[in-house]
Amino acid sequence: MSAVPYAAQSGGQRLPDYDDLRAGRALAADFTNQGWRDHLGYADVPVFTPTEGGRELWRIAQPYDFVFFEHWATDTTGHRRQLGEAVKLLERFDAFLGGLLDAATLEETLIVVSSDHGNVEDCSHGKHTENRVPTLLLGAQRRVYAERVRGLTDFVGVIEDFLLGPRLPSSLAG
């Protein structure tokens, strides 16, 4: 289990499972659910194009204030040094993001796209790179928050402020 699902479970969150996927309450990390059919043998899960998967994630996200979607296939592809597959994955991600943006209410939503490290941009060695990782902020208040993001640790404050509103420092509160 990778760090994100482990952290969620440690925090008391229930991870979506096969029943959620089959019932349309979850979307697999491949954006399409196809891997659950092809590699795990679950013939009854719905399958989407990447664009449809983006729209589906938007639909699934509606009851929630915060949704974290982890896509790890680019990482494993980079480690396997498969440049051709990396290009295909990035094309699928582009279609997925297009579907998500088409469906999203961007006036009320902040979409953050980032990574914890690079490697897919250089498949020549199969290791993580030290390249700076681009971050996309799309939607509401993106320009305000873009000024504040310089690294992964900056996301906590940005997400808290977006969801809860800016807070005064404790020395000024009350």
Specify the CATH number for the domain of residue 144: 3.40.720.10
The pLDDT profile of the chain, 174 residues, written as one tens digit per residue, is 778 889 999 999 999 999 999 999 999 999 999 999 999 999 999 999 999 999 999 999 999 999 988 877 677 776 677 778 888 988 999 999 999 999 999 999 999 998 776 666 766 777 776 777 788 999 999 999 999 998 888 989 999 999 998 776 666 655
Is position 174 within any domain?
Answer: no
Q: Provide CB contacts within 8 A for 167, sequence distance 6+.
A: 160, 161, 173
Annotate 26-88 with three-state secondary structure: CCCCCCCCHHHHHCCCCCCCCCCCHHHHHHHHHHHHCCCCCCCCCCCHHHHHHHCCCHHHHHH
Place of tokens 């060695």: 125
How many separate domains does the chain show?
Answer: 1
Angle between the 50-61 and 83-103 helix axes, to the nearest 10 degrees?
50
User: Domain span at residue 131?
Assistant: 17-164
Cα–Cα distance between 33 and 39 in angstroms, integer? 10
Say which amino acid occupies 28: A
Is position 171 within any domain?
Answer: no
The predicted model scores a pTM of 0.84
Is position 50 within any domain?
Answer: yes
Tell me if 120 sits within 8 A of 74, measured CB to CB: yes
Token readout for 142 is: 């993106």
- Give 154's DSSP letter: G
Is position 11 within any domain?
Answer: no
Token readout for 44 is: 């009854």
Is position 5 within any domain?
Answer: no
